[in-house]
């Protein structure tokens, strides 16, 4: 249901972007900054890496990093990390130990060209770490480093599976095979025995806690059980690995679980990104409800029938399990719904008028994306708005000619 705050906010966006062509993307700086501060408060003093996949705009990544409480980047690909390391990313290492890389690539990399670039560049090796969870990952890094005559080791982190396993049930992301203590210790021994790598830290992302809205009793109970199980297992893993090789850092958490993971004594850093934008998938969280900071506008181009309008473009659907929760949500003017038979379309998005008057041809409808950074894969530029003014227009990754998968 709309309220006076929504009306003032969207009327401000309308005035700010009146001279700009649609489709267009907007980030509200007041909401972005408030969300950043809320993330820091919930982290309980533990530094937060900015998850770049949830932002995909260097100006906004920099803005977050300039705020005390954020330190370092969680990148999603090695080419992206190399690009970020070559440009300005703010005071990203300010709160990180000297032995911990400024940019962590949170997903395994098999890109030999990118691995060669990393292995052959001493500055990049000092700033970038790679996540691994399989012998094949380690063998490839070792082979490329050997071929490149790397003069120093490549820092690698072990990705520890944080899912909850109850009998045959698996609750959480299908991510890493390193679940049991012995499996993680064996992987740590392998890294310690590799001449071209060193173990930088452990990563332990709790998708079933951080990325799942705690709306129902069953989910809430599962998350409580999973948090307790993970805390016990992670502490045993850290103790066992430290008996084999030094582990200067342990990364955990996400936007939805900072307040839980920040309590663990073995956790030295957290990660978050989606909470900066506040997409619709976070609307159902009870522990944390970010302010909507990112949205997009489409032009109304048709009145196909009484009670219906059609907007140009808009098919910006989010990744994940297909369904209504992955579709963008009309939020202004009030009284508009997507059609179940068409949803959000590649070149047109029809909307049913459920209350009020139909928006005129030439007017705009405003929608919010279901997830965070994926929206900016569709826009080369994002307008940074405060009140009824565009403070700055900045490029997204796409606007800088970058696409990292």
User: What's the confidence (pLDDT) of residue 101?
Assistant: 80
Band the pLDDT of 352: cuts 50, 70, 90.
Answer: very high
Going along the chain from its start, the domains and CATH numbers come out as 4-23+293-400 (2.40.37.20), 29-277 (3.20.20.10)
pLDDT for the residue 89: 56
> What are 373's two structure tokens?
């950074």
Model confidence at 398, pLDDT cuts 50, 70, 90, reads very high
Whole-model pTM: value is 0.93
User: In this structure, are residues 271 and 92 in contact, taking their beta carbons and an 8 Å threshold?
Assistant: no
pLDDT of residue 405: 79
Q: Environment class of residue 1 by beta-carbon count within 10 Å: exposed (0-12), middle (13-18) or buried (19+)?
A: exposed
pLDDT above 70 covers a percentage of the chain that reads: 95
pLDDT value at 3 more than 60: no
**Burial class of residue 19, CB neighbours in 10 A (0-12, 13-18, 19+):** exposed
pLDDT at 142 over 60: yes
pLDDT in tens, 182-194: 999 999 999 999 9
Query: Worst-scoring range by mean pLDDT, 210-214, 270-274, 338-342?
Result: 210-214
| Stronger pLDDT, 344 or 165, i.e. the higher one | 344
pLDDT of residue 224: 81
In this prediction, residue 297 carries a pLDDT of: 98
Q: What is the pLDDT of residue 347?
A: 96
Phi-psi region of 262 (alpha: psi -120 to 50; beta: other; left: phi over 0): alpha
- Can you give the pLDDT at residue 302? 97
Residue with tokens 């090789």: 245
**Least trusted range by pLDDT, from 117-121, 153-157, 245-249, 322-326:** 245-249
For residue 99, the model assigns a pLDDT of 66
Q: Is the pLDDT of residue 33 over 70?
A: yes
Predicted confidence band of residue 1 (pLDDT cuts 50, 70, 90) = very low
Identify the pLDDT of residue 216. 72
* Calpha distance 237→243 (Å, rounded): 10
What pLDDT score was predicted for residue 4?
55
92-123 pLDDT, tens digit each: 545 676 667 899 999 999 999 999 999 999 99
* Contact present, 310 and 348 (Cβ < 8 Å): yes
- Which pLDDT does position 94 carry in this prediction? 52
pLDDT, average across residues 384-388: 95
User: Which of residues 3 and 46 earns the better pLDDT score?
Assistant: 46
Task: For the chain, report the end-to-end CA distance as a whole number of angstroms.
Answer: 36
The yes-or-no verdict on residue 284 having pLDDT over 90 is no
């Amino acid at each position: 249901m709309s309220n006076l705050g929504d009306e003032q906010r969207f009327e401000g966006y309308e005035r700010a972007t009146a001279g700009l062509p649609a489709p267009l993307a907007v980030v509200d700086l007041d909401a972005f900054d408030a969300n950043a501060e809320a993330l820091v408060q919930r982290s309980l003093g533990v530094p937060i890496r900015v998850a770049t996949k949830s932002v995909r705009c260097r100006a906004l990544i920099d803005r977050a990093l300039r705020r005390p409480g954020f330190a370092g980047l969680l990148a999603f690909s090695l080419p992206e990390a190399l690009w970020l390391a070559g440009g300005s990313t703010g005071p990203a290492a300010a709160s990180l130990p000297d032995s911990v890389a400024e940019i962590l690539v949170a997903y395994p990399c098999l890109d030999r060209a990118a691995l060669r670039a990393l292995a052959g560049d001493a500055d990049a090796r000092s700033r970038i770490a790679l996540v691994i969870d399989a012998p094949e990952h380690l063998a490839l890094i070792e082979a490329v480093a050997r071929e490149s005559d790397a003069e120093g080791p490549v820092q690698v982190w072990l990705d520890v599976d944080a899912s909850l396993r109850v009998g045959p049930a698996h609750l959480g992301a299908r991510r890493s095979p390193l679940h049991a203590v012995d499996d993680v210790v064996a992987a740590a021994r392998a890294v310690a025995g590799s001449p071209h790598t060193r173990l930088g830290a452990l990563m332990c992302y709790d998708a079933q806690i951080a990325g799942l809205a705690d709306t129902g009793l069953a989910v809430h109970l599962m998350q409580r059980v999973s948090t307790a199980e993970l805390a016990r297992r992670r502490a045993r893993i850290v103790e066992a690995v430290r008996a084999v090789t030094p582990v200067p850092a342990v990364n955990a958490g996400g936007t939805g679980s900072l307040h839980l993971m920040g309590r663990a004594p073995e956790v030295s850093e957290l990660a978050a990104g989606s909470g900066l934008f506040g997409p619709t998938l976070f609307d159902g969280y009870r522990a944390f409800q970010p302010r909507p900071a990112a949205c997009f506008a489409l032009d109304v181009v048709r009145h196909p029938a009484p009670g219906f309008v059609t907007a140009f473009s808009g098919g910006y659907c989010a990744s994940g399990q297909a369904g209504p929760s992955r579709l963008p949500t009309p939020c202004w003017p009030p009284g508009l719904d997507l059609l179940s038979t068409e949803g959000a379309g590649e070149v047109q998005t029809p909307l049913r008028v459920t209350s009020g008057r139909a928006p005129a041809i030439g007017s705009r409808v405003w929608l919010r994306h279901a997830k965070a950074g994926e929206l900016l894969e569709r826009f080369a530029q994002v307008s940074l708005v405060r009140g009824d003014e565009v403070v700055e227009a900045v490029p997204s990754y796409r606007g800088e000619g970058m696409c990292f998968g």
